[in-house]
Structure 1
């Protein structure tokens, strides 16, 4: 009996590095992306073509795409906020452009400096650019499970944005738990509402571990039949435009969970752990990931490697 395949999109070099105070050298970003792809990651959201003034940490987006090693079957996705960003992404030969709109008006204004309607209008200008260059277009929905300024997000807002994406031909949307407000019941309510109205929409879930229930939400998502997730190497991340937003769920921890539950990912966990350790060394501080500290469940140790109790 074949295992169910779960696709993982790595977002650490975008969602993780954008939250760092210090600029990560371009060569380091490239090294991480190349290592992730070598470990078996098939989809990397590598960077964002936002204004360098708004996010100086990702001002080298075009240089990153020019220097990474492109391989067949591996998708390089980038975030694009508007037509100008889309033109830059297209020139840099992105495989996938991801538009993003916040499900709450307050976060949309802090994140994009626009209302939801204005953000939808901007996305409409991105679509023909993607079509002209033959680039896939995905949608992103920030604060999909709650907003730090407004609390619960009305389902009507979510359906409005999903409907706009759908009308422009987008069939894959990532639902972002920007500040870790998702819980299994909230995830179920949101996924069910979207599926009931847009049954042909492919859903990806993007959880943060702000309140410690990120992987619990993944388990619930799997129960709902969602087989695509976005995560960040070593647990990097956190939205710089939302208070209290800490790291994403950790990619190597997620892969371990999926493998232990009998799912297939196509990812070499040992190689992925090595990438997480490399990233932690680059950051110069301890990161949230657990697998890189403990190793797989059946990684055995010598009895001589531990202290013995002496009574």
Structure 2
């Protein structure tokens, strides 16, 4: 396996504004979300999940997602993704200005019914219409597969089932494949195996790995995914996140930890420090606990270490 300083080309997508906020008690204003979005872009984050079309009564922290979309420029929206689960979601988000859509459903029926209210096959059946709605606005749409490794209701998920969905003709027109370790139970060897198989049937689509750090393997799994063929990995500031419909799921792999481990071309020590501080500020505002080990290390390290961060900086 390659060392962290010698990994293949990788992009980091920050999902704080969607997955990261799903389980928080606090709700961010539109202005706060837009400001965070712009701070992430200004400090080297390549792509951002800005929100979700999930029912606002079920996921209140994401209820103002379309208002965020409306505040962003077309250039900013080129780097933004919004979570959708139906063709109508695509149309509504597109009307607000969104052009990049993450069409998500679960590999396991039980989780898909809990999360979206329909079977996995029903979600697959609706995908071609969602692709059509996306194409009408010259947009891009991802195939996002939750519970690709384990399901809180059904247990271990068969790799064959994931590969079957990726290969299904109904997924034609999707630009990326997002493989999700929804409850953070995968190991590096499992991630490597599944991503390798998905790569072989991806038909040129980009592979994104979305991991959670429930068992402490978030960064290791991301590295395994990259070495197996993924080119984008997801993270959230402070390790925020979790799925309200997945018992046992904890936060996402921390963006700060991914940045520290992979040291992408778009990141400097200054941008790393700015995002560590942004994460700490957000965590404090929401009343949550910072789960990023890199952030904790940056605050605790002596000033002589180039990745150290002065916690008193504004």
TM-score (norm 1): 0.88
Aligned equivalent of 1:264: 265
CA RMSD of aligned residues (A): 2.2
- SS at structure 2 position matched to 1:133: coil
- SS at structure 1 position matched to 2:57: coil
Equivalenced residues, count:
297
Looking at structure 2, the residues matched to 200 and 69 of structure 1 have their Cα atoms a distance apart, in angstroms, of 29
Spell out, residue by residue over 1:188-246, the C-alpha distance to the aligned partner (whole angstroms, 9 max, x if none).
Answer: 22112222333523211111000111111122223324221011111110011000111
* Aligned pairs for 1:132-171 within 5 A: 132-164=136-168, 167-171=171-175
Aligned equivalent of 1:196: 200
Looking at structure 2, the residues matched to 194 and 264 of structure 1 have their Cα atoms a distance apart, in angstroms, of 26
Query: Residues 199 and 127 from structure 1, CA distance in 2 versus in 1: closer, same or farther, beyond 3 angstroms?
Result: closer
Spell out, residue by residue over 1:234-267, the C-alpha distance to the aligned partner (whole angstroms, 9 max, x if none).
Answer: 11100110001110000011101012xxx53446
Say whether residues 1:173 and 2:191 are aligned partners. Answer: no
- SS at structure 2 position matched to 1:12: coil
* Aligned pairs for 1:189-228 within 5 A: 189-228=193-232
Q: Which piece of structure 1 moves more, 36-45 or 163-172?
A: 163-172
Q: Which piece of structure 1 moves more, 241-250 or 266-275?
A: 266-275
- SS at structure 1 position matched to 2:69: helix
Aligned equivalent of 2:94: 90
TM-score (norm 2): 0.87
Say whether residues 1:295 and 2:298 are aligned partners. Answer: yes
Deviation at 1:29?
A: 1.7
Preserved CA contact (<8 Å) 1:102 1:143: yes
Q: Which piece of structure 1 moves more, 246-255 or 27-36?
A: 27-36
Aligned equivalent of 1:110: 114
Preserved CA contact (<8 Å) 1:13 1:47: yes
- SS at structure 2 position matched to 1:78: strand
Q: Which piece of structure 1 moves more, 95-104 or 24-33?
A: 24-33
Q: Which piece of structure 1 moves more, 184-193 or 284-293?
A: 284-293
Say whether residues 1:234 and 2:235 are aligned partners. Answer: no
Aligned equivalent of 2:279: 276
Looking at structure 1, the residues matched to 238 and 74 of structure 2 have their Cα atoms a distance apart, in angstroms, of 23
The runs of 5 or more residues in structure 1 that have no matched partner are 302-311
Looking at structure 2, the residues matched to 131 and 199 of structure 1 have their Cα atoms a distance apart, in angstroms, of 19
The runs of 5 or more residues in structure 2 that have no matched partner are 1-5, 306-314
Query: Residues 254 and 235 from structure 1, CA distance in 2 versus in 1: closer, same or farther, beyond 3 angstroms?
Result: same
